[in-house]
Each structure stands twice: as structure tokens, then as C-alpha cells.
């Protein structure tokens, strides 16, 4: 896997995952939507830790800075 996520992209994903978790565990968002948000947050965390997003590969997006 070739890295395709930059540091700003990773930070945004971690922050969104944290917001999703807080919303779910405080009871603000419940039910199916809450579970979907937790799953999406987990995917965001996983992809930010490995610096690779499979969807970016499909769409041809690369936010990682290119070494010159």
C-alpha cells in the first residue's frame, strides 16, 4: 500500500472520529445512525493510522505531499 493521505487529512479524520464517538457515547445520537457514525469513525481512525484510503485510490486522489 502506497501512502495517499497527508497530515492535514489524517488530523481531520481523527477529529471527526472523536466527534462521532462523543456524540454517540453522550447519547446525543442513538440508534442506527449512531452505530453507523461509530463504524465510519472507526474506519476514519484506521485509515488515518495507516495513511492509506482505498476510496482515494479508486477516485485518483492523493493528499500526501510528493517528495521532490
Q: So where are the chain's domains?
A: 7-59
How many CA atoms does the CB half-sphere of 44 hold within 13 Å?
19
Neighbours of 5 (CB within 10 A): 20
Query: What is the tens place of the pLDDT at every residue in 2-61?
Result: 889 999 999 999 999 999 999 999 999 999 999 999 999 999 999 999 999 999 999 998
CA distance 31 to 21: 13
Global pTM reads 0.86
Amino acid at each position: 500500500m502506497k501512502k495517499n493521505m497527508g497530515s492535514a487529512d489524517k488530523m481531520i479524520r481523527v477529529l471527526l472520529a472523536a466527534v462521532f464517538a462523543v456524540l454517540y457515547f453522550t447519547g446525543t445520537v442513538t440508534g442506527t445512525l449512531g452505530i453507523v457514525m461509530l463504524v465510519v469513525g472507526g474506519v476514519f481512525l484506521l485509515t488515518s493510522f495507516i495513511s492509506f484510503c482505498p476510496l482515494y485510490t479508486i477516485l485518483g486522489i492523493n493528499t500526501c505531499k510528493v517528495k521532490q
